[in-house]
Amino acid sequence: MSVKAKRQSPTSRRAARGEKDTASVVIKFRVRPGDRALIDEAALLAGKSRSEFVRVASLIAATDVIHDRRSLRLTPEAFSRFVQALDAPPNANDKLRKLLRTAPPWR
pLDDT in tens, 40-88: 999 999 999 999 999 999 999 999 999 999 988 899 999 999 999 999 9
- Determine how many CB atoms are found less than 10 A away from the CB of residue 60: 13
Question: What is the Cα–Cα distance from 10 to 21, expressed in whole angstroms?
Answer: 10
Q: Which fold has domain 10-101?
A: 1.20.5
pTM: 0.53
Is residue 90 predicted with pLDDT exceeding 90? no
Is residue 15 predicted with pLDDT exceeding 90? no
Domain ranges of the chain: 10-101
| Mean pLDDT value across the chain | 87
